[in-house]
């Protein structure tokens, strides 16, 4: 392909330019009929004939193909949409378009960054959710690296992702955020991490803090798991194996009591009788259920009563793990009960977490946090994608039931 323009003024002096020569420049366009498309743009070089002008020669430019870029603009935008909106792997797009991984990633960065940075992407937020996710699994060089996700709980939008899960990481983010925007936040829902509680101060001191029910229940579950594993180790001297009585009932133990049927409950009780000689696991199970009961309460007073009962019960227990659970619950009493006044929870973030996981899975683990953040925000950050031209619809031809229709 080539441009048809034949009258060009010098970019410096305006004198009519003369054609110098043409230069074939291959670019990649949108894939076509399932195959990569290669376009060759025979680029024109122009020359200024004015002797006093120092422009000499220049190459023509186009709005549809950026200089020094392998992909046409529309192919770059489409690659960005596929990777962002549809969370497809960069490598897949690279194969489809017949370019290298970096070409696609650069297109995602170039076209995606303005969408993510758009100040209208996130509006006023009243309920903020703070949740940690693992960014990189531990390996020989580093322990697990976490990221903190900030979520608009009402609109189910990932506002931002911060590297790290320490108080300082969260505080840095709030410090860099506009105070007026922060002032609009009435409720912050978090898990039971001291680092988040500390990190929200001082910029979000005005907001009501809520301990997310899902995470409160999980603290109970983790305590139960810990006790089960220890007892298993002490009685059998090895980690859980398929046939071990406690290992076999590990999922039943974590199932809510009201969801157990008779068969399940009997199996669980039998497993405990065989594998839990000192009733330690049974105690942890009761503690876990007492935590869950708090959320069955109809109102705050009832919930307070149940929570205090749970805390007192844990405090008197002989098992250290259960006493520790009690201390955690006591430390978060206000935030746990705040759920009953506000109804706020990180529930909506569960769906978002699935989105994040989808991005993470297709990225096969990200080496760069900025790429990870960009792709998560493109996928779950409420980005407004540019309109795509809609092709005219082809009308369906309805088959008529005529004697010849099968011919
Ligand atoms: Zn000139």
Q: What is the structure's pLDDT at 407? A: 44
Rounded mean pLDDT of 228-240? 89
How far does residue 99's CA lie from ligand 1's centre (Å)?
37
Whether 294 shows a pLDDT value over 70: the answer reads: yes
Judge whether 264 and 252 are in contact, CB under 8 Å: yes
H or E segment to which residue 323 belongs: helix 320-331
- Lookup: tokens for 137: 């699994």
How far does residue 57's CA lie from ligand 1's centre (Å)?
9
CA 114 to chain centre: 19
Rounded mean pLDDT of 68-91? 92
How far does residue 21's CA lie from ligand 1's centre (Å)?
17
How far does residue 10's CA lie from ligand 1's centre (Å)?
5
How far does residue 16's CA lie from ligand 1's centre (Å)?
8
Give the model confidence (pLDDT) of 116-134 as tens digits: 999 889 989 999 988 887 7
Rounded mean pLDDT of 244-259? 90
Judge whether 70 and 27 are in contact, CB under 8 Å: yes
Q: Which DSSP category does 121 fall into?
A: S
CA 276 to chain centre: 40
Rounded mean pLDDT of 289-311? 92
How far does residue 18's CA lie from ligand 1's centre (Å)?
10
**Distance, CA of 253 to CA of 382 (rounded, Å):** 38
Classified as helix, coil or strand, 67 is coil
**Distance, CA of 145 to CA of 153 (rounded, Å):** 24
Give the model confidence (pLDDT) of 355-372 as tens digits: 777 887 776 667 788 999
Q: Closest Cα partner for 224 from 270, 278, 280?
A: 280
How far does residue 47's CA lie from ligand 1's centre (Å)?
8
For the residues of 129-187, what is the DSSP string, one character each?
Answer: EEEEEEEE---SS---EEEEEEEETTTTEEEEEEE--SHHHHHHHHHTS-HHHHHT--E
Q: What is the structure's pLDDT at 360? A: 79
More confident residue, 188 or 355: 188
How far does residue 62's CA lie from ligand 1's centre (Å)?
20
Q: What is the structure's pLDDT at 403? A: 59
* Confidence band, pLDDT 50/70/90 cuts, at residue 82: very high
Q: What is the structure's pLDDT at 353? A: 75
Q: What is the structure's pLDDT at 168? A: 92
Report whether the peptide linkage leading into residue 202 is cis, meaning its omega lies within 30 degrees of zero: yes
Q: What is the structure's pLDDT at 350? A: 67
Give the model confidence (pLDDT) of 130-177 as tens digits: 888 777 777 788 788 888 889 998 888 999 999 988 899 999 999 999
How far does residue 73's CA lie from ligand 1's centre (Å)?
29
* Confidence band, pLDDT 50/70/90 cuts, at residue 196: confident
Q: What is the structure's pLDDT at 400? A: 67
How far does residue 403's CA lie from ligand 1's centre (Å)?
75
How far does residue 8's CA lie from ligand 1's centre (Å)?
11
Q: Are strands 35-47 and 18-32 parallel, antiparallel or unpaired?
A: antiparallel
How far does residue 15's CA lie from ligand 1's centre (Å)?
6
* Confidence band, pLDDT 50/70/90 cuts, at residue 298: confident
Contacts of 400 (CB under 8 A, 6+ apart): none
Whether 273 shows a pLDDT value over 50: the answer reads: yes
Question: Crossing angle of helices 90-97/73-84, nearest 10°?
Answer: 150
Whether 6 shows a pLDDT value over 90: the answer reads: no
Distances (CA, A) of 178 to 114, 181, 182, 203, 283: 19, 5, 6, 10, 48
Whether 95 shows a pLDDT value over 90: the answer reads: yes
Q: Which DSSP category does 206 fall into?
A: T
How far does residue 60's CA lie from ligand 1's centre (Å)?
14
Residue 91 has a CB neighbour count (10 Å cut-off) of 15
Q: What is the structure's pLDDT at 140? A: 82
Mean pLDDT of the chain: 88
Q: What are phi and psi of 269, to 5 degrees?
A: -65, -40
Give the model confidence (pLDDT) of 13-26 as tens digits: 989 999 999 999 99
Q: How far apart are the first and last CA of the chain?
A: 45
Whether 380 shows a pLDDT value over 70: the answer reads: yes
Burial class, 147, CB count within 10 angstroms (exposed 0-12 / middle 13-18 / buried 19+): buried
How far does residue 46's CA lie from ligand 1's centre (Å)?
10
How far does residue 14's CA lie from ligand 1's centre (Å)?
6
Residue 28 has a CB neighbour count (10 Å cut-off) of 22
Rounded mean pLDDT of 42-50? 92
Q: What is the structure's pLDDT at 240? A: 78
**Distance, CA of 178 to CA of 174 (rounded, Å):** 8
Rounded mean pLDDT of 255-282? 91
């Amino acid at each position: 392909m080539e441009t048809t323009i034949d009258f060009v003024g010098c970019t410096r002096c305006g004198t009519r330019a003369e054609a110098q020569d043409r230069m074939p420049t291959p670019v990649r366009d949108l894939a076509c009929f399932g195959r990569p498309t290669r376009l060759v743009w025979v680029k024109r070089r122009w020359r200024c004939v004015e002797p006093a002008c120092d422009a000499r020669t220049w190459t023509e430019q186009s709005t549809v193909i950026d200089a020094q870029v392998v992909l046409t603009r529309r192919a770059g935008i489409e690659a960005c949409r596929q990777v962002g909106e549809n969370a497809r792997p960069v490598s897949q797009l690279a194969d489809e378009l017949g370019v290298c991984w970096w070409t696609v990633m650069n297109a995602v960065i170039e076209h995606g960054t303005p969408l993510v940075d758009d100040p209208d992407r996130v509006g006023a937020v009243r309920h903020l959710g703070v949740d940690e996710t693992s960014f990189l699994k531990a390996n020989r060089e580093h322990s697990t690296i976490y990221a903190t996700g900030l979520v608009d709980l009402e609109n189910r939008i990932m506002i931002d992702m911060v590297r790290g899960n320490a108080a300082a990481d969260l505080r840095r983010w709030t410090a860099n955020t506009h105070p007026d925007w922060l002032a609009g936040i009435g409720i912050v829902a978090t898990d039971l991490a001291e680092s988040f509680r500390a990190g929200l101060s001082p910029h979000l001191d005005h907001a009501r803090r809520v301990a997310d029910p899902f995470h409160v229940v999980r603290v109970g579950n983790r305590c139960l798991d810990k006790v089960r594993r220890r007892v298993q180790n002490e009685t059998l001297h090895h980690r859980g194996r398929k046939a071990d009585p406690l290992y076999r009932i590990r999922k039943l133990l974590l199932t809510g009591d009201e969801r157990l049927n008779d068969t399940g409950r009997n199996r669980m009780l039998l497993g405990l009788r065989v594998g839990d000689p000192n009733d330690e696991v049974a105690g942890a199970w009761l503690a876990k259920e007492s935590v869950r009961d708090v959320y069955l309460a109809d109102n705050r007073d009832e919930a307070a009563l149940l929570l205090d009962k749970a805390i007192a019960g844990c405090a008197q227990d002989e098992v250290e793990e259960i006493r520790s659970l009690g201390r955690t619950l006591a430390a978060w009493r206000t935030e746990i009960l705040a759920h009953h006044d506000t109804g706020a929870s990180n529930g909506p973030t569960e769906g978002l977490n699935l989105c994040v996981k989808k991005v993470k899975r297709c990225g096969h683990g990200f080496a760069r946090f900025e790429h990870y953040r960009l792709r998560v925000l493109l996928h779950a950050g409420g980005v407004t994608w540019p309109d795509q031209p809609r092709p005219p619809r082809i009308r369906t031809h309805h088959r008529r039931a005529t004697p010849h229709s099968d011919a």
